[in-house]
């Protein structure tokens, strides 16, 4: 029982630590790198259209170097990033648009978007020193070094957009889905903060929810459930209590885990171009193994049945596989989410405490079992805690 309350306390503490709001600062763009090894001072996960902006601003020279990353609406489409010096929306924006030209190579042109009609490339409000674009893995990257007119406030209104096609060298109009309409905000070039049109960074929120659900499920509840099953049942007084505790712990873990798994699949399908195959594959393996365990519960032969021995091997084998893969995938996820290092440290401490508790109980169990063997040689020998009930 002591182990269980300790485990619960640990879980409670861990959940508290994980839920603290500073985790919301985690961003994906910080883990993005560029083939030309460019480094930027700031980056933002933009709140719409799966886009990212990296930039360096030098106020003394009024120079702004940007990398804008987004998946075009269709492979032959375009992506655009713009500053709007006079308003907050598309009209009046001074846009950089990247697309594939008629020869099939990526190009960047500038547009003074003065109306909702078709656009023609022209000079814009800022000077473009250098621009280039890349297209790989379903994602376009637009690079530009621009010089802003002097006396600029460090906060600018920016707008970004993706479109499905280009006809005769002219980007065609984009869709009018919520994402296309919310892709605007204000950007503090010196402080690195951006406020979006859609009210906060919902993608970051989704990623954090995904992280919390899965840490609680695969990273904590499953291991605690295994500890309960392995150590609590040595005590005859804990029978059948341990069984119900174990089953309810693992079923809650499974329910939370499936929810976490679902959010992961959704995130995966939304993040075109950026793939975390190993994390995803381990996640799929975990879901399959855990589902097999749920079936195991219903297929469990009676204690005396001759197949019970094989069922135990199956159930324990899969259980330990989930334990190991679950913890590995929590760390893989932490690598991707890349929160402040204290979250990783917190999880390491919690897992170390659980491991320590397990080790202690392991020693205790062996002592109990050996003593029982010694004192009961005349009666039926103890089945051993590895044989199940
Ligand atoms: C952009 O177009 C508007 C409206 O046609 C015009 O007033 C403005 O001067 C243009 N800006 C630049 C930089 O050419």
Q: What is the domain count for the chain?
A: 2
Same domain, 363 and 339: yes
Cβ of 120 closer than 6 Å to ligand 1, yes or no, is no
22 is a domain residue: no
From the CB of residue 161, how many other CB atoms can be counted at a distance below 10 Å? Answer: 29
312 is a domain residue: yes
CATH number at residue 45: 2.60.40.1210
More confident residue, 389 or 277: 277
| SS3 label, residue 183 | coil
Same domain, 120 and 168: yes
Same domain, 211 and 336: yes
In percent, the amount of the chain with pLDDT more than 70 equals: 84
Instruction: Spell out where the chain has E strands.
Output: 42-45, 52-58, 63-70, 78-84, 93-100, 106-113, 127-136, 139-147, 155-163, 166-167, 170-171, 184-188, 194-196
Name the average pLDDT for the chain. Answer: 83
Distance 114 CA to ligand 1 centre (A): 7
- Least confident range from 142-151, 217-226, 334-343: namely 334-343
Same domain, 178 and 126: yes
Cβ of 112 closer than 6 Å to ligand 1, yes or no, is yes
- Least confident range from 8-22, 219-233, 275-289: namely 8-22
Q: Cα 95 to the chain's mean position, in Å? A: 31
The answer on pLDDT for 103 being more than 90 is no
24 is a domain residue: no
For ligand 1, atom 4, name the residue with the nearest CA.
Answer: 114
For ligand 1, atom 7, name the residue with the nearest CA.
Answer: 114
- Least confident range from 191-205, 262-276, 325-339: namely 191-205
Please report the pLDDT score of residue 271 as a whole number: 62
What average pLDDT does this structure show over 114-134? Answer: 88
Q: How many residues does the chain have?
A: 389
Same domain, 120 and 223: no
Distance 348 CA to ligand 1 centre (A): 57
More confident residue, 320 or 204: 320
81 is a domain residue: yes
* Inter-axis angle of helices 341-375 and 2-19, nearest 10: 170
Cβ of 124 closer than 6 Å to ligand 1, yes or no, is yes
23 is a domain residue: no
Q: Domain end: 196, 221, 239, which one?
A: 196
Q: Cα 49 to the chain's mean position, in Å? A: 17
More confident residue, 121 or 142: 142
Same domain, 259 and 114: no
284 is a domain residue: yes
Q: Are 146 and 130 in contact (CB under 8 A)?
A: no
Q: Domain end: 170, 196, 222, which one?
A: 196
CA angle 7, 388, 322 (to 5 degrees): 55
Interval 69-84: pLDDT, tens:
999 999 999 999 999 9
In percent, the amount of the chain with pLDDT more than 90 equals: 47
Same domain, 7 and 67: no
Same domain, 238 and 328: yes
Task: Please name every residue paired with 188 in a beta bridge, in sequence order, or none if there are none.
Answer: 155
d(CA 329, CA 321): 12
Q: Domain end: 148, 163, 196, which one?
A: 196
Distance 60 CA to ligand 1 centre (A): 26
Distance 122 CA to ligand 1 centre (A): 9
Same domain, 296 and 317: yes
Please report the pLDDT score of residue 106 as a whole number: 94
Same domain, 235 and 265: yes
What average pLDDT does this structure show over 369-379? Answer: 74
Q: Which residues sit in the known binding site for heme b?
A: 210, 246, 279, 315
Same domain, 124 and 221: no
Q: Which residues sit in the known binding site?
A: 210, 246, 279, 315
Q: Which domain holds residue 207?
A: 2-17+202-377
386 is a domain residue: no
Write out the two tokens for 353. 């405490």
389 is a domain residue: no
Same domain, 224 and 300: yes
Please report the pLDDT score of residue 22 as a whole number: 40
The answer on pLDDT for 11 being more than 80 is no
CATH number at residue 344: 1.20.120.1770
Please report the pLDDT score of residue 188 as a whole number: 84
């Amino acid at each position: 029982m002591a182990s269980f309350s300790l485990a619960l306390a640990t879980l409670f503490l861990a959940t508290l630590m994980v839920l603290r709001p500073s985790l919301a600062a985690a961003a994906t763009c910080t883990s993005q790198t560029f083939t030309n090894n460019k480094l930027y001072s700031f980056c933002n996960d933009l709140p719409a259209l799966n886009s990212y902006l990296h930039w360096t601003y030098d106020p003394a020279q009024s120079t702004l170097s940007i990398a804008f990353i987004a998946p075009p609406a269709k492979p032959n489409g375009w992506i655009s990033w713009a500053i709007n010096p006079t308003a907050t929306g598309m009209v009046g924006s001074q846009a950089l648009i990247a697309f594939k030209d008629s020869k099939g190579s990526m190009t960047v042109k500038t547009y003074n978007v003065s109306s909702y009609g078709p656009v023609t490339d022209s000079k814009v409000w800022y000077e473009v020193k250098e621009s280039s674009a890349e297209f790989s893995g379903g994602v376009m990257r637009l690079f530009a070094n621009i010089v802003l007119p002097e006396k600029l406030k460090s906060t600018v209104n920016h707008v970004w957009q993706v479109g499905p096609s280009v006809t005769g060298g002219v980007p065609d109009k984009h869709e009018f889905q919520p994402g296309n309409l919310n892709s605007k905000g204000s950007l503090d070039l010196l402080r690195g903060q951006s406020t979006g049109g859609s009210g906060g960074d919902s993608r970051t929120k989704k990623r954090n929810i995904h992280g919390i659900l899965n840490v609680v499920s695969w990273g904590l509840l499953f291991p605690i459930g295994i500890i309960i099953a392995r150590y609590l049942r040595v005590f005859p007084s804990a029978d059948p209590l341990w069984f119900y505790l174990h089953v309810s712990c693992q079923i809650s873990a499974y329910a939370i885990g499936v929810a976490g798994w679902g959010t992961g699949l959704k995130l995966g399908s939304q993040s075109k171009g950026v793939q975390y195959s190993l994390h995803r594959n381990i996640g799929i393996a975990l879901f399959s193994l855990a589902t097999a365990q749920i079936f195991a519960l219903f297929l469990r032969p009676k204690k005396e049945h001759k197949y019970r021995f094989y069922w135990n091997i199956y159930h324990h084998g899969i259980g330990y596989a989930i334990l190991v893969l679950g913890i590995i995938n929590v760390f893989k996820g932490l690598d991707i989410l890349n929160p402040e290092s204290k979250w990783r440290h917190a999880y390491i401490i919690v897992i170390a405490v659980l491991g320590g508790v397990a080790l202690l109980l392991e020693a205790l169990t062996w002592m109990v079992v050996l003593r029982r063997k010694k004192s009961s040689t005349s009666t039926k020998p103890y089945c051993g805690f590895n044989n199940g009930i």
